[in-house]
């Protein structure tokens, strides 16, 4: 995914978002429900009702970027609506984008050292 670098703030809109919304509708959610400025440089992620669709909104300094992904199998891991807003690290965002459960990543064995 082409997008924000390291150190960016990432927010999830917990619960369900209408995936028919475009940039204007999603920026309204960011302002009204999440209480953040859409053009702050933070990344905002939204998930649809079925759980297989995600939209990521990001302001890159010149305009808004909207990323949209649909999984062929499975669902994106997501917090419950009662959580309101969740904050992720950029690494967790990368895992989320790939469909990996960022809450419980499965780490492999450490690299072996050969002498």
The pLDDT score that the predictor gives to residue 85 is: 81
Q: Check pLDDT > 80 for residue 95.
A: yes
Q: Which of 18, 15, 52, 45 shows the shortest CA–CA distance to 30?
A: 45
Comparing 1-5, 19-23, 48-52, 71-75, which segment has the lowest mean pLDDT?
Answer: 1-5
The pLDDT score that the predictor gives to residue 94 is: 86
pTM to 2 decimal places: 0.82
- pLDDT > 70 in the chain, percent: 89
Q: How far apart are CA 47 and CA 56, in angstroms?
A: 9
Assigned token pair, 15: 């619960």
- pLDDT > 90 in the chain, percent: 47
Q: Which helix (H) or strand (E) holds 13?
A: strand 10-13
């Amino acid at each position: 995914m082409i997008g924000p670098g390291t150190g960016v703030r990432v927010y999830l809109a917990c619960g369900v978002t209408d995936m028919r919304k475009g940039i204007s509708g999603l920026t309204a959610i960011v302002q009204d429900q999440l209480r953040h400025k859409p053009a702050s440089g933070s990344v905002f992620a939204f998930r649809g009702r079925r759980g297989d669709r995600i939209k990521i909104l990001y302001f890159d300094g010149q305009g808004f970027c909207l990323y949209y992904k649909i999984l062929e199998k499975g669902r994106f891991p997501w917090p419950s609506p009662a959580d309101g807003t969740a904050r992720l690290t950029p690494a967790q965002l990368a895992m989320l984008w790939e469909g990996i459960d960022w809450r419980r990543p499965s780490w492999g064995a450490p690299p072996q050292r050969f002498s």
